[in-house]
């Protein structure tokens, strides 16, 4: 496959419009200038390009904004931190879980900043928090379109953008308030800037890519660096300048990362501990420890299960340890295709891998500076490195992390499919394209078959479409007609059937994801009540395995609330979950007790209460609009506050109540300071029962 693509992205076979095309002829026969609105709408490119791009963005916005309010506060852990950022600038800057600035969330704060600013402008609410996340998704689709279009033309850009928009895990994360939406947008921006840099060895674009990677680090720490090898290799290989300058430019990109990420690290580390919140997830109140410990190497190696204090409880984006086989599947080469990750992101993954190999083979004789091959290196490296890390990491890993794979997969599919289509006169290109479409339809049917109760007929449809598309590609249906209009009709038919064969399954799963409400700390994609994905906590809570726990007549889960599983309320059976002031309500998600809510709402202290674990603290903050201290951070394992610090707060009258207990994300793996605080409270204050909780009034 020989590349015919210009750096400007004029890969389309259609001729561009001249500047004065389209205007009526004058009396002398010379065409009049094109009206301004026409030039704005179409530019110097085929008339369909800009309208189709606009349609892609509008459709993406409709999909991601649809039914958004049903998600509510989503992950209450991050929602509470966003609420805190709307009330206090210190909480905003450092990512505090509460506006009293006791302790942070266990991530950097960048993902909280835009929703918090929206909350300051429009008032904090579910929509002011989630609409920015959805718009980040629209922006990511648009930037990916532009990045692919510059190299492979508008058709490839549209296919790539559409593939990203219709990836189930993308629809999940861009309608939720985990940090992954911001992370994905940053990574796609960095790839776009790198492509611009490669075109003309533009070091400024490369520095901008480094700066955005630095922002990705401030969003989700070391995960933001997974694409760096691919971006760096693509530039080092293909930029049209001597090797010395290429290396110097890469040092400039590294400088961009250091300036953005390093400046915040320095700010945090140099700010006196008394003037900022405690760094959750660390044992030494250190941003660097969090970076290389709980959120770094521990996630890769599984040492201490990646949890502060060595506990096994999952964080807000964490797991339950034990190799995470319960959530991410067993580590290994096929993890991305397994029951946990497969339905999230693998619909087009086999196609992307095949098209990557084919693209590298067909471009093997191109010059070093070929933009087509550079894009394959960039997107292929993105996919291989990220998928490799996710597949073999033995620490905390969750299926929704795979949204970081989606842009690489989508770009490879868009680029590879369009380039093979252009070269379909060649038998090898035609065979690869036909096999890719047929294989994608079969894999879609396999993924759909993992939930035997949801649209079983769809599996048959996608396989039939795959067979028809493969036959049409192999037989050159688009070339059988003798007139141009018949050839165009044949080509259009093959393209439409191929797109349906490859995308109908993923698209249906994505639409079902968008239609379902999601909550808790470990959301999964798919239709409400689907059995795939393991511990996926939509609004319905814990979803069981339909192979042994479902009523075949009604399709409903048959868990016994008395034994701890209730489909209506999640884990714990009762509406208040597994105990504590808010219970568990789902994996890592609490529902505030009404009596406790009323009690805390009437307090006037700096913190209305202190409770073990961040999940319960977050739920109470959202319900009462007061500040609640999460004793021990997310899982009760952080050494904050110490007994001495707690006693000082109590002596100053800063805390209203101590609430005993804690469910998921609270009290599991607590350290000495946590238990010492509990023992001291029990020895010095009188217990009372409020609702379903045991409460101690610290003012008495």
Tens of pLDDT, residues 372-391: 999 999 999 999 999 999 99
Q: Which backbone phi and psi does 523 adopt, to 5 degrees?
A: -70, 150
Tell which residue, 615, 532, 621, 81, has the closest CA to residue 313: 615
**Sign of the C-alpha dihedral computed for residues 678, 684, 689 and 691 taken in this order:** negative
- Report helix angle 484-515 to 49-65, nearest 10: 20
Tell which residue, 256, 233, 186, 502, has the closest CA to residue 384: 233
Is the Cβ–Cβ distance between 371 and 198 less than 8 Å?
yes
ω into residue 641 within 30 of 0, thus cis? yes
What digits encode the pLDDT tens for the residues 159-187?
999 999 999 999 999 999 999 999 999 99
Q: Is the pLDDT of residue 606 over 80?
A: yes
pLDDT value for 298: 77
% of residues, the chain, pLDDT over 90: 67
Q: Is the pLDDT of residue 562 over 80?
A: no
Q: Among 257-271, 485-499, 620-634, name the one with the lowest average pLDDT.
A: 485-499
Is the Cβ–Cβ distance between 169 and 399 less than 8 Å?
yes
CA distance 443 to 441: 5
pLDDT value for 145: 98
pLDDT value for 41: 55
Q: Is the pLDDT of residue 7 over 60?
A: no
214 or 490, greater pLDDT: 214
pLDDT value for 396: 83
pLDDT confidence band for 262 (50 / 70 / 90): very high
Count CB atoms within 10 A of the CB of residue 539: 16
Count CB atoms within 10 A of the CB of residue 511: 16
CA distance 468 to 237: 40
pLDDT value for 592: 73
Is the Cβ–Cβ distance between 631 and 677 less than 8 Å?
yes
Q: Is the pLDDT of residue 497 over 70?
A: yes
The upper half-sphere exposure of residue 54, i.e. CA atoms within 13 Å in the direction of its Cβ, equals 8
pLDDT confidence band for 549 (50 / 70 / 90): very low
Tell which residue, 456, 462, 503, has the closest CA to residue 351: 503
Work out the average pLDDT over 562-589: 35
What digits encode the pLDDT tens for the residues 411-462?
999 999 999 999 988 999 999 999 999 999 999 999 999 998 999 999 999 9
pLDDT value for 304: 55
CA distance 547 to 439: 27
Is the Cβ–Cβ distance between 491 and 480 less than 8 Å?
no
> How far apart, in Å, are the Cα atoms of 681 and each of 100, 521, 617, 643?
21, 30, 18, 10
pLDDT confidence band for 551 (50 / 70 / 90): very low
Work out the average pLDDT over 190-200: 97
Q: Is the pLDDT of residue 6 over 70?
A: no
Q: Is the pLDDT of residue 610 over 80?
A: yes
* Token representation of residue 53: 């791009």
Sequence-separated (6 or more) residues with CB below 8 Å from residue 556 = 529, 550, 567
Q: Residue 535 gets which letter from DSSP?
A: S
pLDDT confidence band for 32 (50 / 70 / 90): low
DSSP H/E element including 381: helix 371-392
pLDDT value for 574: 31
Work out the average pLDDT over 91-116: 96
Work out the average pLDDT over 40-62: 86
Work out the average pLDDT over 95-121: 96
* Token representation of residue 240: 């049209």
Q: Which backbone phi and psi does 600 adopt, to 5 degrees?
A: -70, -30
pLDDT confidence band for 312 (50 / 70 / 90): very low
Say how far residue 577 (Cα) sits from the centre of its chain.
27
pLDDT confidence band for 480 (50 / 70 / 90): low
Is the Cβ–Cβ distance between 290 and 220 less than 8 Å?
no
Work out the average pLDDT over 578-604: 64
**H-assigned helices in 153-202:** 154-165, 168-173, 180-200
pLDDT confidence band for 521 (50 / 70 / 90): confident
pLDDT confidence band for 490 (50 / 70 / 90): confident
Global confidence as pTM: 0.85
Work out the average pLDDT over 116-133: 97
The mean pLDDT of the chain is 83
Sequence-separated (6 or more) residues with CB below 8 Å from residue 234 = 194, 198, 374, 375, 377, 378, 381
Work out the average pLDDT over 404-411: 98
Work out the average pLDDT over 575-594: 45
* Token representation of residue 564: 């701890």
DSSP H/E element including 611: strand 607-612
Q: Among 32-46, 409-423, 574-588, 674-688, name the one with the lowest average pLDDT.
A: 574-588
pLDDT confidence band for 479 (50 / 70 / 90): low
Work out the average pLDDT over 114-121: 97
């Amino acid at each position: 496959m020989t590349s015919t693509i210009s750096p400007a992205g004029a890969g389309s076979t259609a001729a561009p419009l001249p500047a004065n095309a389209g205007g009526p002829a004058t009396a002398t026969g010379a065409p009049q200038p094109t009206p301004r609105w026409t030039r704005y709408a179409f530019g110097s490119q085929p008339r369909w390009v800009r309208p189709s791009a606009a349609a892609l963005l509008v459709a993406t916005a409709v999909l991601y904004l649809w039914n958004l309010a049903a998600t509510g506060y989503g992950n209450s852990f991050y929602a509470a931190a966003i609420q805190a950022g709307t009330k206090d600038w210190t909480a905003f800057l450092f990512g505090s879980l509460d506006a009293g600035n006791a302790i942070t969330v266990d991530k950097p704060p960048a993902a909280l900043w835009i929703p918090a600013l929206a909350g300051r402008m429009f008032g904090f609410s579910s929509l002011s928090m989630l609409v920015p996340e959805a718009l980040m998704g629209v922006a990511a689709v648009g930037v990916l379109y532009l990045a692919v279009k510059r190299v492979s033309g508008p058709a490839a850009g549209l296919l790539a953008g559409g593939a990203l928009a219709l990836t189930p895990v993308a629809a999940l994360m861009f309608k939720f308030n985990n940090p992954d939406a911001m992370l994905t947008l940053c990574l796609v921006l960095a790839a776009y800037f790198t492509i611009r840099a490669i075109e003309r060895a533009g070091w400024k674009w490369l520095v901008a890519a480094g700066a955005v990677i630095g922002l990705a680090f401030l969003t989700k720490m070391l995960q933001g660096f997974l694409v760096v090898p691919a971006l760096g290799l693509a530039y080092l290989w293909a930029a049209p300048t001597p090797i010395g300058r290429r290396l110097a430019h890469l040092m400039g990109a590294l400088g961009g990362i250091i300036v953005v990420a390093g400046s915040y690290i320095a700010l945090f580390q140099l700010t006196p501990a008394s003037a900022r919140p405690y760094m959750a997830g660390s044992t030494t109140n250190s941003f660097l420890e969090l970076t290389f410990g709980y959120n770094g190497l521990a996630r890769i190696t599984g040492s201490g299960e990646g949890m502060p204090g060595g506990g096994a409880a999952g964080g807000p984006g964490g797991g339950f340890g034990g190799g995470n086989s319960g959530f991410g599947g067993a580590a290994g080469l096929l993890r991305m295709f397994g029951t946990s990750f497969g339905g999230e992101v693998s619909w087009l993954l086999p196609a992307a891998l095949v098209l990557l190999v084919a693209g590298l083979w067909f471009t093997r004789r191109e010059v070093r500076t070929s933009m087509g091959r550079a894009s394959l290196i960039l997107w292929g490296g993105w996919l291989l490195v990220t998928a490799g890390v996710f597949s073999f990491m033995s620490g905390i890993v969750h299926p929704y992390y795979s949204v970081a794979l989606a842009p690489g997969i989508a770009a490879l599919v868009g680029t590879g499919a369009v380039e093979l289509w252009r070269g379909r006169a060649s038998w090898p290109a035609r065979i690869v394209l036909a096999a890719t479409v047929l294989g994608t339809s079969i894999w879609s049917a396999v993924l759909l078959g993992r939930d035997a109760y949801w649209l079983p007929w769809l599996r048959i449809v996608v396989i039939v479409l795959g067979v028809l598309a493969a036959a049409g590609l192999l037989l050159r249906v688009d070339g059988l007609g003798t007139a141009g209009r018949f050839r165009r009709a044949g080509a259009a038919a093959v393209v439409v059937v191929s797109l349906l064969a490859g995308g109908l399954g993923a698209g249906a799963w994505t639409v079902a994801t968008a239609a379902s409400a999601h909550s808790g700390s470990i959301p999964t994609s798919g239709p409400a009540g689907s059995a795939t994905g393991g511990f996926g906590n939509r609004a319905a809570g814990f979803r069981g395995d339909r192979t042994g726990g479902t009523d075949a007549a009604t399709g409903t889960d048959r868990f016994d609330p008395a034994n701890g599983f209730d489909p209506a309320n999640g884990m714990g059976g009762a509406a208040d979950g597994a105990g504590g002031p808010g219970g568990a309500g789902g994996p890592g998600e609490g529902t505030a007790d009404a009596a406790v809510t009323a009690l805390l709402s009437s307090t006037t202290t700096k913190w209305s209460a202190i409770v073990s674990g961040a999940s319960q603290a977050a739920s109470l903050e959202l319900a009462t609009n007061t500040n609640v201290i999460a004793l021990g951070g997310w899982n009760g394992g952080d050494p904050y506050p110490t007994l001495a610090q707690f006693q000082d707060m109590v002596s100053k009258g800063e805390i209203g109540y101590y609430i005993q207990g804690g469910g998921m994300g609270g009290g599991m793996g607590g350290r000495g300071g946590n238990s010492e605080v509990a023992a001291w409270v029990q020895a010095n204050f009188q217990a009372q029962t409020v609702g379903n909780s045991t409460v101690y009034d610290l003012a008495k």
